[in-house]
Copies of this chain bind each other. A is one copy, B any other.
Amino acid sequence: MLKQYTFKELSTSALTALVTRNADDTHAIQDVVQQIIADVRQDGDTALLSFASKFDKVDLEKLYLDKADIEELAMTITRDQQRALEIAFQNIHKFHSSQMRRERTVETMPGVKCWREPRPIERVGLYIPGGSAVLPSTLLMLGVPARISGCKEIVVCSPPQQSGKINGFVAYCLQLLKIDRIYLAGGAQAIAAMAFGTDTIPKVDKIFGPGNQFVTKAKSVVQSMTNVSIDMPAGPSEVLVIADETANPAYVAADLLAQAEHGPDSQAVLVCTSDTILAAVDSKLEEQLQILPRAEIAKMAIANSYAVKVDDLQEAMQFSNQYAPEHLILETDQWESLTRYISNAGSVFLGHLTPESAGDYASGTNHTLPTSGYARSYSGVSVDSFVKKITFQHINAEGLNHIGSTVEILAELEGLHAHKNAVSVRK
């Protein structure tokens, strides 16, 4: 089923083409998004209510649900479901808590002390997609590090369902996160509201979260219009599986399909050292697709995907690093010796028993990850994404004595005499 290429036979330009995900940046989307942003800036809440009616097919009385509403909705899910969300919450909390660490003070010269201290970003906006797939896991992945970081104001936006509510899973996650309110706004209009503020929805300093093309375009547009920042640019989700002859074809096929079912534009890449395994994976793909509810979507994604035959695992790593996958799965007994060669990836799943879906939900790592090759320069979301690290320095008389003339000489050679004088005047 998978188109197949051989690594050795790829020209440089063919290789570049293979690892390039098309941005598909149509002006049509840009224009729609610009108009929505302009409307929200001008009409605020009124625009949001009208977009809810237009896009979400619901006439809202108010633009948010409060604590009582959330409590009521959270009770509608089963105890098993609650328990699964709790375990995910706990694991994510445990792993992300380990990312908050005090750094030591460095005395660069006697009397010159420097250090960094984290400070939470005060107001953060979390976008939780709704529509066909409602993703309570995304709320956990963004809400947990926001809570650990100590953000003062956590604004959550999600499109209303036709009932004018949200689903019970998202409501239960809000309770776990001790967030008492959720704003009923979706799409580009939610992003605009968080970037500029309306009477109801507060303006935030940074916007997080995945979404469709309109949401991601809106994030990039507001970032260039006002001083709000965003977690990262986003494109369709993707996985790259490296498999050798020790791989189990049924596991590999299942992992490729888990990626493929996200959307028709998802990409699942198999890099494999063994023709036997390649063929076996193909037949397992056929088999597993039969029983998949989202088979139509997955088939389109598989058509958009491919396999690369390599001679050995070193070649596999070469291809993978050039691709820079959001998710990388190493389905080989040799995973331990391979990790050091990984230079570009969002999150990595090691060995035969670590499916990517574990990381999507509950292993503890974050599932908000760089796509489209951005893993070359971006990290996934972590506690770091919700804090600034402010540098501090303190110099005493001894320190000024040690560092003074250095600063004076450097200021002078850069022609900045007032910089020099700020030292001289203190001597």
Smallest Cβ-Cβ distance to A388: which chain B residue: B379
Q: How far is the CA of A348 from the CA of B59 in the complex (A)?
A: 49
Smallest Cβ-Cβ distance to A367: which chain B residue: B391
Residues of chain B with a CB closer than 8 A to A280's CB: none
What 1/0 flags go to A126-166 for Cβ under 8 Å of B?
A: 00000011111100000000000000000000000000000
A3 close to chain B: CB less than 8 A: no
Residues of chain B with a CB closer than 8 A to A83's CB: 406
**Distance to closest chain B CB from A142 (angstroms):** 15
**Distance to closest chain B CB from A89 (angstroms):** 11
**Distance to closest chain B CB from A291 (angstroms):** 8
Residues of chain B with a CB closer than 8 A to A57's CB: none
Query: Number of contact residues on A: which range applies?
Result: 35 or more
Partner of A411, one of B357, B364, B374, B407: B357
**Contact between A374 and B229 (Cβ–Cβ < 8 Å)?**
yes
- A104-B98, A292-B418, A357-B419 known; A347-B410 Cβ under 8 A: no
Interface centre among A81, A133, A220, A395 (most CB of B within 10 A): A395
A342 close to chain B: CB less than 8 A: yes
Near B by CB (< 8 A), chain A positions 92-125 give: 94-95, 98-99, 101, 103-104, 106, 108-109, 112, 114, 116-117, 119-122
Partner of A423, one of B260, B335, B357: B357
Residues of chain B with a CB closer than 8 A to A90's CB: 108
Q: How far is the CA of A238 from the CA of B392 in the complex (A)?
A: 17
Q: Among the listed stretches A186-194, A303-311, A396-404, which one makes contact with chain B, having 4 or more residues with CB under 8 Å of it?
A: A396-404
**Contact between B421 and A254 (Cβ–Cβ < 8 Å)?**
yes
- A114-B363, A358-B403, A407-B358 known; A133-B350 Cβ under 8 A: no
**Contact between A347 and B391 (Cβ–Cβ < 8 Å)?**
yes
Interface centre among A348, A373, A374, A417 (most CB of B within 10 A): A417
**Distance to closest chain B CB from A84 (angstroms):** 4
**Distance to closest chain B CB from A196 (angstroms):** 13
- A84-B409, A411-B361 known; A227-B379 Cβ under 8 A: no
What 1/0 flags go to A66-88 for Cβ under 8 Å of B?
A: 00000000000100110111011
Number of copies of this chain that the complex holds: 2
**Contact between B136 and A413 (Cβ–Cβ < 8 Å)?**
yes
Smallest Cβ-Cβ distance to A417: which chain B residue: B293
**Contact between B224 and A422 (Cβ–Cβ < 8 Å)?**
no
- A261-B417, A345-B390 known; A364-B407 Cβ under 8 A: no
**Contact between A251 and B407 (Cβ–Cβ < 8 Å)?**
no
A393 close to chain B: CB less than 8 A: yes
Near B by CB (< 8 A), chain A positions 334-385 give: 335, 339, 342-366, 370, 372-380, 382, 384
Near B by CB (< 8 A), chain A positions 295-309 give: 298
Smallest Cβ-Cβ distance to A363: which chain B residue: B393
Q: How far is the CA of A250 from the CA of B414 in the complex (A)?
A: 23
A181 close to chain B: CB less than 8 A: no
Residues of chain B with a CB closer than 8 A to A365's CB: 114, 391-393
Residues of chain B with a CB closer than 8 A to A419's CB: 258, 261, 357, 360-361
**Contact between A425 and B114 (Cβ–Cβ < 8 Å)?**
no
Given A344-B388, A380-B389, 4 more A-B residue pairs with CB atoms under 8 Å apart are A254-B421, A260-B418, A362-B403, A375-B388
Could you list 21 A-B pairs, sorted by A, with CB under 8 Å?
A81-B413, A90-B108, A91-B108, A94-B106, A95-B108, A121-B376, A227-B233, A227-B374, A251-B426, A257-B422, A258-B418, A288-B421, A293-B417, A346-B390, A349-B393, A353-B395, A355-B423, A361-B406, A361-B410, A370-B388, A382-B391
